[in-house]
Structure 1
Amino acid sequence: MAKTEIHGYCVMWKKEDAYDPARGLELTIRSLVPGDLPQVLEIERLAYSYPWSEAVFLDCFKPDYRVWGACLGDDLVGYAVVTHILDEVHLLNLCVHPGWRGHGAGRRLVRHLLAEAVREEMNQVLLEVRLSNKVATRLYRNEGFEEIGRRPGYYPAASGWEDARVMSLLLHT
Structure 2
Amino acid sequence: MLELRTLIAADLVAVQSLDAVCFAGEPFAASWWQKATFGQGACAWLAWQGDELLGYCLFSRVLDEAELLRIATSPAARQQGVAAALLQHAETALQQAGVEQLFLEVRLSNLPAQRLYRRTGWQQSGRRKDYYPLADGREDALIFCRAL
Normalising by structure 1, report the TM-score.
0.79
CA separation in 1, counterparts of 2:54 and 2:112?
Answer: 17
Q: Give deviations 1:43-91, integer Å, cap 9, x for gaps.
A: 1111113221222222323121111100001211100111111111111
- Report the equivalent of 1:52: 28
Provide the aligned C-alpha RMSD in A: 1.3
In 1, Cα distance between equivalents of 2:75 and 2:20:
10
Greater radius of gyration (CA): 1
Q: Does 1:106 align with 2:83?
A: yes
Q: Out of 94, 103, 121, which is 1:144 matched to? A: 121
Structure 1: runs of 5 or more not aligned = 1-25
Q: How many residues align?
A: 146
TM-score, normalised via structure 2 length: 0.92
1:158 shift after superposition = 2.2
Percent identity between the aligned chains? 34
Structure 1: 4+ residue segments shifted above 4 A: none
> How far has the Cα of 1:161 moved from its partner?
2.2
Structure 2 residue runs of 5 or longer lacking an equivalent are none
Q: Larger relative contact order (C-alpha < 8 A, sep ≥ 6)?
A: 1
Query: Which secondary structure state, in structure 2, belongs to the residue aligned with residue 60 of structure 1?
Result: helix
**CA offsets per residue over residues 26-46 of structure 1, 9 Å max, x none?**
101111123212211221111
